[in-house]
Structures are given as structure tokens and as C-alpha cells.
Chain A
Amino acid sequence: MAPDLELFDAVLELADDHLVLGHRLSEWCGHAPMLEEDLALPNMALDLIGTARTLYDHAGRLEGQGRDEDTLAYLRGDRAYRNLLLVERENGDFAHTMLRQLYFSAFMHPYWEAALGSSDAVISGVAGKAVKEMAYHIRHAAEWVIRLGDGTEESARRMGAAVDALHLYTPELFEEGAAAGCDALPARAAMRGAFDSTIAQVFAEAGLCVPEVAYPPSGGRRGLHGEELGPMLAEMQSLHRAHPGALW
């Protein structure tokens, strides 16, 4: 296969999104508000990590330099990571985590639907699996956002705070990034309608308002991250990096 560096960059962005968010969700395992969620959150994390692995593997082949999934995941620093700022945000409370999940899946569901017809067989294959996973993630996250938004005074306050803290990261979802010139991937801007309608529907039931975002942060696709990704990757990569070349 001839190297395709444009598509490599674009697939890497997607892979990084999924790994970073999957890692964040995995941090909940054993610490969730109830046992049932201790099982639900890892299910979603495993979906995301599974998708990331396929995408890294594919990216490595597109690049043609012999980098495998672990080389790409464990041996790039935070400046080389291309994930969205939204997914690297710390978990915060359960309201933050569920809202972040809703934003991500509300975008990715129509995205993978559009990618079902991709000319790239790996992408369309991933899409076939991920579109179902994202449909469930939307449902799971939405049911919680609704319950917390329309629950107690405290839960409504926390849900509102989560919207204040995270909504401003949603415009970055629609930036084309490295995918701008890739026919194999859907145009991200085209997901706007589906995303807005999902969020509007859930927020209406949850009694939440979609806030105006005056200054949306951006930069994840260029390796300009916030301060939370560095420590996350330092932890994630510490053991792998301490034993160069070792097999696990």
C-alpha cells in the first residue's frame, strides 16, 4: 500500500479522540456512583478503545513507517497528540462525564453513519461497528443528562455547571482538521444539523439551555492542548516508556 500521509493524519486524529476519551472513562472503573454504572462506563470505554486500536493500526499502515498501535499510542508526547480538547478534559463529576459523552457521541453517530459508504474499507468497517456503539452511548448519556438536569436542585446545579464548563469545546468538533482534503472521510461540518438537534432534544427534556459560546477554544488538532492532557499521557505511557523495546 502506498503511504497516504494526509489520510494518516486524519485517521490519527480520530484514533486519538477515541483513545483519550476511552482512557478518561476507564478512570471511573471502581469509582462510579453505583455498581450498575461501574459496569456501564467500562463498556463504553471498551468500545472507544477498540475503535482507537483499529484506527491506530490503520494509521500505521497508511504511514508505512512500521509504527503499530502501541508505538502510536505510547511513544508520542502530548504535542504530537491530535485529539479534541473536549475529550481530554478531566472527568469532573458524573454530570461532566455524562455530558462530555453526550457531546462526543451526538457528533460521532452521524459522522460514522456518513462514513459507512467510505471508499476506505477499514473506515467503512469501523463505521459499521461504531455507529451502533455511538447510538447506545447517546442513549445512555442522554438518559443521565435528563435525570440530572431534571432531578434535584443539586443535580440541576451540577448539570448546569457542566454545560458551562464543556459546551464551549463543542465548536472544535466541526473543524475539518487534517481530514480537509480526504475523500475517504466525511466532512465534519456536515454533522452540525444532526448534532444540534440531538442536543436540543435532550436539553429540552433536561431543562438545560444551550449557551452562546463567544470564544470557542481550539488547537487540539494542531497539538495545542490544555494542561490536562500532559499528565494523563505521562501516566498512561510511564510503564511502556520505562522499558524501551520490551514486549508486554
Chain B
Amino acid sequence: MANETPLWEVFIRPRNGLSHKHVGSLHAADEVLALQAARDVYTRRGEGNSIWVVRSVDIVASDPDQSAENFDPTAEKIYRHPTFYEIPEDVGHM
């Protein structure tokens, strides 16, 4: 419906040094009201010091039907992980 107030996704950074994390969503007519609402809804208990809002329709998501082709092939590339390589203990921590 055209007259529905758009949906926004809200991301909060709990404190400096951490990245923004998705916390939920809300409805607002525009980005200014969305930020205000995010502040009033999602930071009532000191949950963070920075807010991002993104229109939900602007999020492009990967298709769960493609998740096997997207993510399974990495499973066998064990040489990307440090434990794949044996280093003698005498060498020390690496």
C-alpha cells in the first residue's frame, strides 16, 4: 500500500571501538524521524552512542536458496586457516 509508513532497519554501536549491530526495525516517514524514533525506541537504557537507519527496502540480501553454492565451497579450503600449517614448537609462538 502506498500510504503505509516505510519500514527502517536500525543499527546501534554500543560504544566506540565496536561496529554497529542490527537491533530491530521501526516505521517512520523519513530519515530524520527514523533516527529520532530509533533513539526513542532502541536507546532507552544506554544501549549505544551511535545510530544508523536504513530503509528496509534498500537492503539487498543473498538468496537462502543459493546458500550452498555461496558458502559451502569455503569449507574445504582449510589451507586458509593457521592450524593447517605445522610449525615446530621450538620456533616459538607464531
Give the B-binding residues of A (Cβ under 8 A): 34-36, 39-40, 43, 136, 139-140, 143, 147
Contacts and interface: CB of A to CB of B under 8 A. Distances in A.
Contact of B27 (A34, A143, A147): A34
B29 interface: yes
B32 A39 contact: no
Contacts of A40: 36-37, 40
B27 A39 contact: no
Nearest to A43: B40
A36 B27 contact: yes
A-B pairs, top 8 by smallest CB distance, nearest first, are A36-B37, A40-B40, A39-B40, A39-B41, A43-B40, A143-B32, A36-B26, A140-B36
Q: What is the size category of the interface that chain B forms with chain A?
A: 10 to 19
Contacts of B5: 34
A39 B39 CA distance: 10
B44 interface: yes
Nearest to B34: A36
Contacts of B33: 36, 143, 147
B41 A139 contact: no
Contacts of B51: none
Contacts of B27: 34-36
Main secondary structure of the interface of A (DSSP, over half): helix
B28 A36 contact: yes
Contacts of A35: 27
6 contacts: A34-B27, A36-B37, A36-B41, A40-B36, A43-B44, A143-B33
Nearest to B5: A34
Given A34-B5, A34-B27, A36-B28, A143 B40 contact: no
Nearest to A46: B44
B36 A143 contact: yes
Contacts of B41: 36, 39
Contacts of A140: 36, 40
Contacts of A136: 39
B8 to A, nearest CB: 10
A139 B78 CA distance: 53
Contacts of A143: 32-33, 36
Contacts of B37: 36, 39-40
A35 B40 CA distance: 11
A42 B21 CA distance: 26
Given A34-B27, A36-B33, 15 more contacts: A36-B37, A36-B40, A36-B41, A39-B37, A39-B41, A39-B44, A40-B37, A40-B40, A43-B44, A139-B36, A140-B40, A143-B33, A143-B36, A147-B29, A147-B33
